[in-house]
Chain A
Amino acid sequence: MTSTEPHRLWDILKRYDSNPDALIQILNEIQKDEGYLPHITLKLLSSELDVPLSKIYGVLTFYEHFKLVKPGKIIITICMGTACFVKGSPALNTTVKNMLGIESGETTSDQLFTFERVACLGCCALAPVVQINGEIHGQMTPNKLQKLLTKIRKEEEKGEEK
Chain B
Amino acid sequence: MLEEEITITVDGKELKCLPTDTYYEAISKHNIEIPTLCHNPELKPTGACRICVIEIENSRTLMPACSTPIKANSVVYTQSERVREARRILVELLLTSHPLNCVICDKAGSCELQKLAYEYVPEERLGRYIGTKPKTDLQEKNEFFELNYSACIRCGLCVRVADEIQVCGVLSMTHRGFETFPSPGFGRTFEEAGCVACGNCVSVCPVGALVSNSVKGAGRAYELEKTTTTCVYCGVGCQLDLFTNPISKKIVKVDSTEGNVVNGLALCVKGRYGWDFVNHPERINHPLMKKNGEFVQVTWDEAFDFIEQKLKQIKEEMGPDSLAFLTSAKCTNEENYLMQKLARAAIGTNNIDHCARLCHASTVTGLARAFGSGAMTNSINDLTKNAEVILIIGSNTTEAHPVIGVKIKQAVQEGKTKLIVADPRIIELADYSEIHLQQRPGSDVALINAMMKVIIEEGLFDEKFIQERTEGYNELKEKLEKVSLEVLCKIANINQMDLRQAAILFGKAKTAAIVYSMGITQHTTGTDNVLSLANLAMITGNVGRPGTGVNPLRGQNNVQGACDVGGLPDVYPGYQKVSDKENKIKFQKAWGVSNLSDKPGLTVVEIMNEVYEGNIRGVYIMGENPALSNPNINHVRSALEKLEFLVVQDLFITETAKYADVILPGKSFAEKEGTYTNTERRIQRVRKAIDSEGERIADWKILQEMLNRFGIENRYDSPEQIMDEIADVTPIYSGISFDRIDKVGLQWPCKGKNHPGTKILHEKTFSRGKGKFHAISYIEPAELPDKDYPIILTTGRILYHFHTGEMTRRVKGIHKRRPIERSEINTKDAERLNIKNGDKITIESRRGKIETIAKVTDRIQEGVVFMSFHYKESAANLLTNDALDPLAKIPEFKVCAIKVGKV
**Residue in B closest to A68 when the chains form the complex, CB atoms:** B186
Give the residue among A55, A57, A62 with the most B Cβ atoms within 10 A: A57
Contact with B along A50-79 (1 / 0, CB 8 A): 011111111001100000100000000000
Asked if B174 contacts A57 (CB within 8 A), the reply is yes
Q: How long is the Cα–Cα vector from A39 to B186 in the complex, in angstroms? A: 8
Among B79-87, B165-173, B618-626, B654-662, which stretch is in contact with chain A? B165-173
Residues of B within 8 A of A56 (CB): 185
Asked if A54 contacts B170 (CB within 8 A), the reply is yes
Q: How long is the Cα–Cα vector from A107 to B477 in the complex, in angstroms? A: 72
8 Å CB contact of A55 from B169, B175, B176, B194: B169
**Residue in B closest to A55 when the chains form the complex, CB atoms:** B172
Asked if A52 contacts B176 (CB within 8 A), the reply is no
Indicate whether B561 reaches chain A with its CB closer than 8 angstroms: no
8 Å CB contact of A58 from B168, B173, B194: B173
Q: How long is the Cα–Cα vector from A62 to B176 in the complex, in angstroms? A: 5
Q: How long is the Cα–Cα vector from A52 to B162 in the complex, in angstroms? A: 11
**Residue in B closest to A47 when the chains form the complex, CB atoms:** B431
Indicate whether B257 reaches chain A with its CB closer than 8 angstroms: no
8 Å CB contact of B193 from A39, A53, A61, A68: A53
Residues of B within 8 A of A61 (CB): 174-176, 185
Asked if A54 contacts B176 (CB within 8 A), the reply is no
Indicate whether B183 reaches chain A with its CB closer than 8 angstroms: yes
**Residue in B closest to A59 when the chains form the complex, CB atoms:** B172
Residues of A within 8 A of B206 (CB): none
Within 8 A of A (CB), among B171-211: 171-176, 183-186, 188, 193-194
Give the residue among A39, A51, A55, A68 with the most B Cβ atoms within 10 A: A55
Q: How long is the Cα–Cα vector from A53 to B188 in the complex, in angstroms? A: 10
Asked if A57 contacts B183 (CB within 8 A), the reply is yes
**Residue in A closest to B194 when the chains form the complex, CB atoms:** A52
Give the residue among A39, A51, A56, A61 with the most B Cβ atoms within 10 A: A61
**Residue in A closest to B176 when the chains form the complex, CB atoms:** A62
CB B159 to nearest CB in A, in angstroms, measures 8
Residues of A within 8 A of B170 (CB): 52, 54
CB A147 to nearest CB in B, in angstroms, measures 36
**Residue in B closest to A52 when the chains form the complex, CB atoms:** B169
CB A55 to nearest CB in B, in angstroms, measures 5
Asked if B176 contacts A57 (CB within 8 A), the reply is no
Contact with A along B456-481 (1 / 0, CB 8 A): 00000000000000000000000000
Residues of A within 8 A of B171 (CB): 54
CB A4 to nearest CB in B, in angstroms, measures 24
CB B498 to nearest CB in A, in angstroms, measures 20
Q: How long is the Cα–Cα vector from A58 to B175 in the complex, in angstroms? A: 7
Within 8 A of A (CB), among B580-594: none
Q: How long is the Cα–Cα vector from A51 to B172 in the complex, in angstroms? A: 11
8 Å CB contact of B172 from A39, A52, A68: A52
Residues of A within 8 A of B188 (CB): 53
Main secondary structure, interface of B, reads loop
Asked if A58 contacts B186 (CB within 8 A), the reply is no
CB A12 to nearest CB in B, in angstroms, measures 20
CB B561 to nearest CB in A, in angstroms, measures 39
> How many residues on chain A are close to B (CB under 8 Å)?
12
Within 8 A of B (CB), among A6-63: 39, 51-58, 61-62
Residues of A within 8 A of B168 (CB): 52
**Residue in B closest to A63 when the chains form the complex, CB atoms:** B176
Asked if B185 contacts A58 (CB within 8 A), the reply is yes
Residues of A within 8 A of B193 (CB): 52-54
Q: How long is the Cα–Cα vector from A68 to B185 in the complex, in angstroms? A: 11
Asked if B169 contacts A54 (CB within 8 A), the reply is yes
Residues of B within 8 A of A55 (CB): 169, 172
Q: How long is the Cα–Cα vector from A62 to B172 in the complex, in angstroms? A: 11
Residues of A within 8 A of B183 (CB): 54, 57
Q: How long is the Cα–Cα vector from A61 to B194 in the complex, in angstroms? A: 20
Asked if B169 contacts A62 (CB within 8 A), the reply is no
Q: How long is the Cα–Cα vector from A104 to B185 in the complex, in angstroms? A: 21
Contact with A along B341-356 (1 / 0, CB 8 A): 0000000000000000
Asked if A62 contacts B175 (CB within 8 A), the reply is yes
Q: How long is the Cα–Cα vector from A53 to B174 in the complex, in angstroms? A: 12
Residues of A within 8 A of B184 (CB): 53-54, 57
CB B155 to nearest CB in A, in angstroms, measures 15
**Residue in B closest to A56 when the chains form the complex, CB atoms:** B185
Q: How long is the Cα–Cα vector from A75 to B3 in the complex, in angstroms? A: 64
CB B430 to nearest CB in A, in angstroms, measures 14
Contact with A along B644-660 (1 / 0, CB 8 A): 00000000000000000
CB B132 to nearest CB in A, in angstroms, measures 18
Q: How long is the Cα–Cα vector from A57 to B184 in the complex, in angstroms? A: 8
Q: How long is the Cα–Cα vector from A159 to B176 in the complex, in angstroms? A: 40
CB A66 to nearest CB in B, in angstroms, measures 12
Residues of B within 8 A of A53 (CB): 169, 184-186, 188, 193
**Residue in B closest to A62 when the chains form the complex, CB atoms:** B176
Q: How long is the Cα–Cα vector from A51 to B188 in the complex, in angstroms? A: 16
Q: How long is the Cα–Cα vector from A53 to B162 in the complex, in angstroms? A: 13
Asked if B169 contacts A58 (CB within 8 A), the reply is no
Residues of A within 8 A of B169 (CB): 51-55
Residues of B within 8 A of A68 (CB): 186
Residues of B within 8 A of A51 (CB): 169
Within 8 A of B (CB), among A137-157: none
**Residue in B closest to A57 when the chains form the complex, CB atoms:** B185
Q: How long is the Cα–Cα vector from A58 to B176 in the complex, in angstroms? A: 9
Residues of B within 8 A of A52 (CB): 168-170, 172, 193-194
**Residue in A closest to B179 when the chains form the complex, CB atoms:** A61
Residues of A within 8 A of B175 (CB): 61-62
**Residue in A closest to B192 when the chains form the complex, CB atoms:** A53
Contact with B along A72-93 (1 / 0, CB 8 A): 0000000000000000000000
**Residue in B closest to A64 when the chains form the complex, CB atoms:** B176
Residues of B within 8 A of A62 (CB): 174-176
Q: How long is the Cα–Cα vector from A135 to B836 in the complex, in angstroms? A: 53
Residues of A within 8 A of B194 (CB): 52
Residues of B within 8 A of A58 (CB): 172-174, 185
**Residue in A closest to B169 when the chains form the complex, CB atoms:** A52
Residues of A within 8 A of B185 (CB): 53-54, 56-58, 61
Q: How long is the Cα–Cα vector from A65 to B552 in the complex, in angstroms? A: 52
**Residue in A closest to B171 when the chains form the complex, CB atoms:** A54
Give the residue among A39, A62, A68 with the most B Cβ atoms within 10 A: A62
**Residue in A closest to B193 when the chains form the complex, CB atoms:** A54
Q: How long is the Cα–Cα vector from A52 to B175 in the complex, in angstroms? A: 16
Q: How long is the Cα–Cα vector from A61 to B136 in the complex, in angstroms? A: 15
CB B697 to nearest CB in A, in angstroms, measures 49
Residues of B within 8 A of A39 (CB): 186
Contact with A along B569-607 (1 / 0, CB 8 A): 000000000000000000000000000000000000000
CB A155 to nearest CB in B, in angstroms, measures 35
Residues of A within 8 A of B172 (CB): 52, 54-55, 57-58
CB B56 to nearest CB in A, in angstroms, measures 32
Residues of A within 8 A of B186 (CB): 39, 53, 57, 68
Q: How long is the Cα–Cα vector from A138 to B172 in the complex, in angstroms? A: 42
CB A47 to nearest CB in B, in angstroms, measures 10
Q: How long is the Cα–Cα vector from A44 to B326 in the complex, in angstroms? A: 52
Q: How long is the Cα–Cα vector from A61 to B186 in the complex, in angstroms? A: 10
For the complex of A and B, 6 pairs with smallest distance between CB atoms: A57-B185, A52-B169, A58-B172, A54-B172, A61-B175, A61-B174
Which residues from chain A sit less than 8 Å from chain B, CB to CB?
39, 51-58, 61-62, 68
Show 24 A/B contacts (Cβ-Cβ < 8 Å), sorted by A.
Answer: A51-B169, A52-B169, A52-B170, A52-B172, A52-B193, A52-B194, A53-B184, A54-B169, A54-B170, A54-B171, A54-B174, A55-B169, A55-B172, A56-B185, A57-B172, A57-B185, A57-B186, A58-B173, A58-B174, A61-B175, A61-B176, A61-B185, A62-B174, A62-B176
Q: A52-B193, A55-B172 are in contact. List 7 more A-B contacts (CB 8 A).
A: A52-B169, A54-B172, A54-B184, A54-B193, A57-B174, A57-B185, A62-B176
